[in-house]
């Protein structure tokens, strides 16, 4: 490999086994739950796991997962990575692995709904308190820190309204307050943003989205310092048990081979769709970080090298009826959840539902969400189809 390989080269070549004559150029998935071992080789407890221990049981580690973990660490410029069965398995393993009863978490008030619900409903049962703040405002993060704050978790861009957090600013605030920072970079991808370089302690991904890219496998990962990842493996991966299936790891490796060209096309198609939507008379607002119309475009330009393919738009009125019409009339775009897949996906997220069931915001935070989202957002994961076909599909369904 060159001294400083670019991200497209890393996505293809980092972490692969050594080249040997006769070895397969594409390593096959190692579909095994256990490995031949020897009483002298490894202890039975996770606590006995040594860094150089041979493979033993796939919940501890597996050769296919090793390749993916090395590749993700290289792409994020981190020392080590751990893969999990899903993005939620990764986030919950990190939060429950790092925080104990009496600890406090600061969380973006707009983030993946499952993470917000974890903070509201599950963490308090374990004695962990959480404050949801507008992490787009670094001063709000600083004000939320308490002496027992151990972790600040932000998502940028945030699902579903593409709000951004200034990672470098929040990393400095967290460090000052004696807390660690984790960044959910699922939407940005390693091609767009490098949170560790900007001062984050952990990067979290739902591999389900852009990284695997084809909508056929769930997966998650945490990337960070080696000693932290070792503790996370022993405490959270092995004992909570949310290990990634080797076949899904292999599908993810296959998806990663085209991450760079896919992200370039996701971005250029999103740019075309954003311009179409911004000019549409029924559209109230459209949010995509790559557009000068995005209220945080200057931050996006500083922090993102690729603006990704997720956008959100809201309508002036009649959103619920429009959602039904879109679900029935779209022919190229699929009305379905998830994002980051080759095919375009669209899903309507009503503001009342999200505020009531997931975010549970009040006062100024509720007003800020309503301001961004209107009655509800149509989240579009812009895929790799021809941009003209996507525009024509949306145009006929919106009219």
Ligand X SMILES: *Cc1c(COP(=O)(O)O)cnc(C)c1O
* Residues found near ligand X in the complex (CB under 6 A): 86-88, 112, 114, 155, 159, 184, 186-187, 206, 208-209, 218, 220
Q: Which tokens hold the place of 224?
A: 């960070």
In this complex, which beta carbon is closest to ligand X, that of residue 259 or of residue 387?
A: 259
In this complex, which beta carbon is closest to ligand X, that of residue 55 or of residue 262?
A: 262
Task: Tell me the C-alpha distance between 94 and 229, whole Å.
Answer: 10
In angstroms, what is the C-alpha Rg of the chain? 21
Query: In the bound complex, what is the minimum distance in angstroms from residue 18's beta carbon to ligand X?
Result: 31
Dihedrals phi, psi of 311, to nearest 5 degrees: -135, 160
Could you say which of 103, 166, 184, 201 is catalytic?
184
In angstroms, how far is the first alpha carbon of the chain from the final one?
52
Could you say which of 98, 150, 209, 228 is catalytic?
209
Could you say which of 57, 59, 225, 370 is catalytic?
59
In this complex, which beta carbon is closest to ligand X, that of residue 115 or of residue 322?
A: 115
For this structure, is 302 an active site residue? no
Query: In the bound complex, what is the minimum distance in angstroms from residue 159's beta carbon to ligand X?
Result: 4
Q: What angle, 0 to 180 degrees and rounded to 10, lies between the N-to-C axes of helices 259-278 and 387-398?
A: 40
Task: Tell me the C-alpha distance between 273 and 317, whole Å.
Answer: 20
Q: Is 343 helix (H, G, I), strand (E, B) or coil?
A: coil
In this complex, which beta carbon is closest to ligand X, that of residue 56 or of residue 250?
A: 250
Dihedrals phi, psi of 113, to nearest 5 degrees: -55, -35
For this structure, is 369 an active site residue? no
Task: Tell me the C-alpha distance between 151 and 350, whole Å.
Answer: 30
Query: In the bound complex, what is the minimum distance in angstroms from residue 84's beta carbon to ligand X?
Result: 9
Could you say which of 98, 103, 112, 393 is catalytic?
112
Local structure of residue 380 (DSSP, 8 states): E
Query: In the bound complex, what is the minimum distance in angstroms from residue 363's beta carbon to ligand X?
Result: 25
In this complex, which beta carbon is closest to ligand X, that of residue 186 or of residue 252?
A: 186
Query: In the bound complex, what is the minimum distance in angstroms from residue 146's beta carbon to ligand X?
Result: 25
Residue 75 and residue 305 in contact, taking contact as beta carbons nearer than 8 Å: no
For this structure, is 125 an active site residue? no
For this structure, is 184 an active site residue? yes
* Active site (catalytic) residues: 59, 112, 184, 209
């Amino acid at each position: 490999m060159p001294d400083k390989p670019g991200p497209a080269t890393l996505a293809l070549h980092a972490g692969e086994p050594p080249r040997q004559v006769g070895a397969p150029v594409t390593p096959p998935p190692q579909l095994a739950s256990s490995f031949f071992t020897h009483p002298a080789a490894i202890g039975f407890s996770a606590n006995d796991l040594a860094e150089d221990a041979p493979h033993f049981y796939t919940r501890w580690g597996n050769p296919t997962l090793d390749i993916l973990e090395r590749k993700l660490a290289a792409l994020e410029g981190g020392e080590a990575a751990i893969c999990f069965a899903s993005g939620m398995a990764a986030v919950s393993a990190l939060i429950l692995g790092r925080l104990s009863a009496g600890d406090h978490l600061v969380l973006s008030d707009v983030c993946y709904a499952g993470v917000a619900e974890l903070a509201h409903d599950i963490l308090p049962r374990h004695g962990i308190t959480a404050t949801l703040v507008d992490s787009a405002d670094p001063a709000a993060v600083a004000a939320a820190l308490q002496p027992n704050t151990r972790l600040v978790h932000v998502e940028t861009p945030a699902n579903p309204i593409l709000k951004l957090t200034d990672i470098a600013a929040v990393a400095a605030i967290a460090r000052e307050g004696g807390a660690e920072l984790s960044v959910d970079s699922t939407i940005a991808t390693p091609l767009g943003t490098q949170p560790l370089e900007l001062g984050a302690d952990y990067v979290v991904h739902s591999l389900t989205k852009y990284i695997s890219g084809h909508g056929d496998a769930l997966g998650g990962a945490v990337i960070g310092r080696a000693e932290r990842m070792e503790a996370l493996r022993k405490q959270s991966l092995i004992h909570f048990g949310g290990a990634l299936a080797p076949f899904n790891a292999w599908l993810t490796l296959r998806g990663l081979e085209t991450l760079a060209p896919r992200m370039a096309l996701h971005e250029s198609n999103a740019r075309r769709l954003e311009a179409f939507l911004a000019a549409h008379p029924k559209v109230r607002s459209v949010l995509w970080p790559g557009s000068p119309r995005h209220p945080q475009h200057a931050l996006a330009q500083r922090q993102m090298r690729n603006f990704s393919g997720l956008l959100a738009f809201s309508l002036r009125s009649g959103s619920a009826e429009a959602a039904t019409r879109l679900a029935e009339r779209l022919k190229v775009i699929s009305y379905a959840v998830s994002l980051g897949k080759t095919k375009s996906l669209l899903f309507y997220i009503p503001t009342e539902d999200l505020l009531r069931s997931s975010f549970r915001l009040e006062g100024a935070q509720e007003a800020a969400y309503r301001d961004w989202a209107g009655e509800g957002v149509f989240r579009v994961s812009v895929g790799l189809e021809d941009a003209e076909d996507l525009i024509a599909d949306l145009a006929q369904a919106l009219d």
